[in-house]
Amino acid sequence: MSSVTIVGAGLGGLMLARVLAVHGITAVIYEADASAGSRTQGGMLDIHEQDGQRALAMAGLKDEFRALVHVGGQASRVLRRDGTVLFDQPDDGSGGRPEVLRGALRRILIESLPAGTIRWGRKVIEIVPLGEGMHRLIFADGSTATANLLVGADGAWSKVRPLLSDARPAYVGTTFVETYLSDADSRHPATAAAVGSGALFAVEAGKGIFAHREPHGVLHAYIALSRPARWIEDIDFADASTARTRLVAEFAGWAPALTALITDGDTAPMLRMIHSLPNDHRWKRLPGLTLIGDAAHLMPPAGDGANLALLDGAELGEALAAQPDSVETALAAFEDRMFKRSTETAREAHRVLGLCLGERAPNSLIEFLSGALNA
Ligand SMILES: Cc1cc2nc3c(=O)[nH]c(=O)nc-3n(C[C@H](O)[C@H](O)[C@H](O)COP(=O)(O)OP(=O)(O)OC[C@H]3O[C@@H](n4cnc5c(N)ncnc54)[C@H](O)[C@@H]3O)c2cc1C
């Protein structure tokens, strides 16, 4: 089998290239970012046994992954708007969802690849089908490349997806705004204490503050608001101070230890409007072409997207390695499994978002977290 061409060096594309390399198959990844460090890759990811950890085992990177785990990170608590703790689950080390920094996980994947696999600064702007499963990629810098087997691992706004599907991501009606507080234990002790050692959820119908402690005293938060797109677009996020004032006004009466996650950020608040593809997104098989990760199944963040991207990459790599002379059969079998898995997970992701921010929050979230503990 000839080299596999991957667009996107996110977790999905990197995992695919790694598993292919483990099986002696070469791959090239074209990535829009100029270098591995050109964009912050913040955020803790909980890596699940059934998908993310399975993928890392298939990639032969289990030990490297274990060395990254943030001890204490699996703790979770739910707070009322006045800061009262309603639910508190410490991390006793027995949970199956160890937390790691996304940037650190991405780095072990990058470092595991043969030199030259990733072509940085190559943003795909157009893809031209050449027939017989071949495609020409045209990059923003004017260069081109030809792919015998093309995998779109290029995330929510994939350039590869339109070759296979007319589906476009739709706004789900909820927006996250991302903030960071550094040196929190000394500079923001009340907020650091409120967040605890792992994850904090302070939620009500239509609004909430999700925060997580990262290594080195960093608090990373998502301020969630269920609002129409027009309402969000009316806020000028280029003006950080005005954006903070608009956001915190939605949390009037909340404990200052919580609203500090909106007002005291060290970085400008970053807008993340949440989009999703239809839960049952799929496509008719076309030769020489497939999608993995968010490009295939974008869903609201409920702790699964990165895990699915990792498993997609690993399973596609193994499927191709198992049938190097029957690529189309391998792709069809892989897609079939991926479609079933992603439809179920996407439904659950919408449900979990509803439990966090729906009419019965925070009770619905507490029942969900308690149920997960007792399961
Ligand atoms: C606010 C938020 C919080 C989240 N939290 C979690 C969580 O806690 N746990 C979890 O499991 N998931 C989480 N997710 C989901 C997770 O981030 C994604 O599902 C995951 O990153 C998908 O990986 P991917 O490799 O498919 O795509 P991406 O990570 O999006 O990677 C795509 C890559 O393709 C590159 N690219 C894009 N277009 C081009 C182009 N035209 N040419 C070349 N390169 C291109 C991009 O630069 C990028 O490097 C969250 C998502 C959001 C929005």
Q: What is the DSSP string of 101-123?
A: EHHHHHHHHHHTSPTT-EETT--
Mutate to test the pocket of ligand 1, among 294, 304, 315 (most ligand atoms within 8 A of CB): 294
Cα(187) to ligand 1 centroid in Å equals: 31
* 80 labelled ligand-binding: no
Question: Across the strands, what pairs with 119?
Answer: 30
Decide: 219 and 195 in contact? Cβ < 8 Å: yes
Regarding the beta carbon of 30 and ligand 1, being less than 6 Å apart is answered yes
124-131, strands of its sheet edge to edge: 124-131, 134-139, 144-147
At 70, give phi and psi (nearest 5°).
Answer: -85, 105
pLDDT tens figures, 56-80: 999 999 999 999 998 777 899 999 9
Question: Which residues lie below 8 Å from residue 161, measured CB to CB, with a gap of 6+?
Answer: 152, 167, 291, 295, 296
**What is the mean predicted confidence (pLDDT) over 95-110?**
91
Atom 35 of ligand 1: nearest residue by CA position: 8
What percentage of the chain reaches a pLDDT higher than 70? 98
* 39 labelled ligand-binding: yes
Pairing of strands 289-291, 150-152: parallel
Regarding the beta carbon of 288 and ligand 1, being less than 6 Å apart is answered no
Is pLDDT at 339 greater than 90 in this prediction? yes
Decide: 326 and 277 in contact? Cβ < 8 Å: no
Query: What is the rounded distance in angstroms from the CA atom of residue 322 to the CA atom of residue 343?
Result: 25
Query: What is the rounded distance in angstroms from the CA atom of residue 14 to the CA atom of residue 12?
Result: 6
Is pLDDT at 316 greater than 80 in this prediction? yes
The number of the ligand 1 atom at minimal distance from the alpha carbon of 11 is 25
Q: Which of 14-28, 96-110, 177-191, 218-232 has the lowest mean pLDDT?
A: 96-110
pLDDT tens figures, 205-257: 999 999 999 989 999 999 999 999 999 999 999 999 999 999 999 999 999 99
Say whether domain 3-70+98-167+278-357 belongs to CATH 3.50.50.60. yes
Decide: 174 and 203 in contact? Cβ < 8 Å: no
> What fold is seen in the domain 170-276?
D-Amino Acid Oxidase; Chain A, domain 2 (3.30.9)
The number of the ligand 1 atom at minimal distance from the alpha carbon of 313 is 25
Is pLDDT at 352 greater than 80 in this prediction? yes
Report how far apart, in Å, the C-alpha atoms of 109 and of each of 19, 155, 309 are. Answer: 10, 17, 13
Decide: 122 and 139 in contact? Cβ < 8 Å: yes
What's the pLDDT at 128?
98
Atom 21 of ligand 1: nearest residue by CA position: 306
Regarding the beta carbon of 300 and ligand 1, being less than 6 Å apart is answered no
Query: What is the rounded distance in angstroms from the CA atom of residue 280 to the CA atom of residue 171?
Result: 16
pLDDT tens figures, 153-167: 999 999 999 999 999
Query: What is the rounded distance in angstroms from the CA atom of residue 313 to the CA atom of residue 298?
Result: 15
Mutate to test the pocket of ligand 1, among 5, 6, 11, 223 (most ligand atoms within 8 A of CB): 11
Query: What is the rounded distance in angstroms from the CA atom of residue 372 to the CA atom of residue 184?
Result: 30
Regarding the beta carbon of 297 and ligand 1, being less than 6 Å apart is answered no
Regarding the beta carbon of 45 and ligand 1, being less than 6 Å apart is answered yes
Regarding the beta carbon of 153 and ligand 1, being less than 6 Å apart is answered yes
* 336 labelled ligand-binding: no
Query: What is the rounded distance in angstroms from the CA atom of residue 354 to the CA atom of residue 341?
Result: 20
SS3 for 294-313 is HHHHCCCCCCCHHHHHHHHH
Q: What is the pTM assigned to this prediction?
A: 0.96
Cα(40) to ligand 1 centroid in Å equals: 12
Decide: 155 and 10 in contact? Cβ < 8 Å: yes
Query: What is the rounded distance in angstroms from the CA atom of residue 318 to the CA atom of residue 9?
Result: 18
Nearest by Cα to 337 from 322, 364, 315, 365 = 315
Higher pLDDT, 165 or 1: 165
Residue 174 structure tokens: 């909820």
Residue 214 structure tokens: 């990262």
Cα(363) to ligand 1 centroid in Å equals: 30
The number of the ligand 1 atom at minimal distance from the alpha carbon of 139 is 42
Question: In whole numbers, what is the pLDDT of the chain averaged over residues?
Answer: 95
Provide, for the chain, the percentages of residues in helix, strand and coil under a 3-state DSSP scheme, each rounded to the nearest 5: 35, 25, 40
Query: Within its chain, how far is the Cα of 198 from the centroid?
Result: 18
Split at pLDDT 50, 70, 90, the class of 374 is low
Decide: 155 and 13 in contact? Cβ < 8 Å: no
Domains of the chain, by residue range, sit at 3-70+98-167+278-357, 170-276
Atom 29 of ligand 1: nearest residue by CA position: 10
The number of the ligand 1 atom at minimal distance from the alpha carbon of 304 is 11
* 337 labelled ligand-binding: no
At 8, give phi and psi (nearest 5°).
Answer: 110, 120
